[in-house]
Amino acid sequence: MGRAARVLIGGVALLCLALAATPSAAATTAVTIEGTAFKPSTISVAVGDTVSWTNLDGGAHTVTSNTGVWESGTIRGGGGQFTRVFSTAGRFEYFCQLHAWMLGVVVVGGDGVRAAQTTAPITAAPSAFAARASIAAEPVAAAPTVALPDRAGRPSVNDGAPGPVFVALAGVLIVGLVGLAWVLVRGT
Ligand SMILES: [Cu+2]
């Protein structure tokens, strides 16, 4: 075998090794939310993969980690999405805060990890009380401003009473009108 052929074979072998050592590109696994359920409810992905949830129901849902690892917030109905990258191996159970019976699990890891963890039953969501407390903590849209009477228990500086500038202008106006009327009456 000539030198050129050996160099070529060596180069090709090195290239193959490099390609084999390169981690495969991270994938995205899709979960749909429909019929008030996560479909599929159990998925297994590799470390570094992305999971994307798409809400096909009419109403809102959440994708909430049972152990507080993540919180999607409200995912609106009609196509709202939430995506998350799972960068550590493990078993991650989640539920919907608005429908605590909606349960799912993402199993992240090598094939050995996944084989063992994917078949384990999904445990129940945290208590409804915890779920409600967590929902209450979410920011809500500001209520429309309503003019209220004097706030109870707090001394009011200006509520309901005309300001000093207004009083002064009204006084000047009244004096002027009275003066004008007096001039008109005297003129006739
Ligand atoms: Cu829901």
Mean pLDDT on 38-47: 94
Range in 67-71, 107-111, 127-131, 151-155 with the lowest mean pLDDT: 151-155
* 96 CA distance to ligand 1 middle (Å): 5
Q: Which of 34-38, 45-49, 127-131 is modeled with the greatest confidence?
A: 34-38
**Residue 150 pLDDT greater than 70, yes or no:** no
* 50 CA distance to ligand 1 middle (Å): 21
Side by side, the strands of the sheet bearing 38-39 are: 38-39, 28-33, 49-55, 80-86
**What CATH number has the domain spanning 28-135?**
2.60.40.420
* 60 CA distance to ligand 1 middle (Å): 6
pLDDT of 188: 56
* 84 CA distance to ligand 1 middle (Å): 18
The whole-angstrom separation of Cα 16 and Cα 40 is: 36
* Summary count for the chain: helices (H), strands (E): 4, 8
Range in 29-43, 119-133, 144-158 with the lowest mean pLDDT: 144-158
pLDDT band at 142 (very low <50, low <70, confident <90, very high): low
* 74 CA distance to ligand 1 middle (Å): 9
* 131 CA distance to ligand 1 middle (Å): 12
Higher pLDDT, 151 or 83: 83
pLDDT band at 125 (very low <50, low <70, confident <90, very high): confident
**Residue 124 pLDDT greater than 80, yes or no:** no
Cβ–Cβ < 8 Å for 72, 102: no
Q: State the average pLDDT for the chain.
A: 77
pLDDT band at 16 (very low <50, low <70, confident <90, very high): very low
pLDDT of 140: 47
Kindly state the helix (H) or strand (E) to which residue 31 belongs, with its residue range: strand 28-33
pLDDT band at 149 (very low <50, low <70, confident <90, very high): low
Q: Which two tokens stand for residue 3?
A: 């030198």
pLDDT of 168: 82
Domain range annotation of the chain: 3-23+162-186, 28-135
Mean pLDDT on 55-62: 98
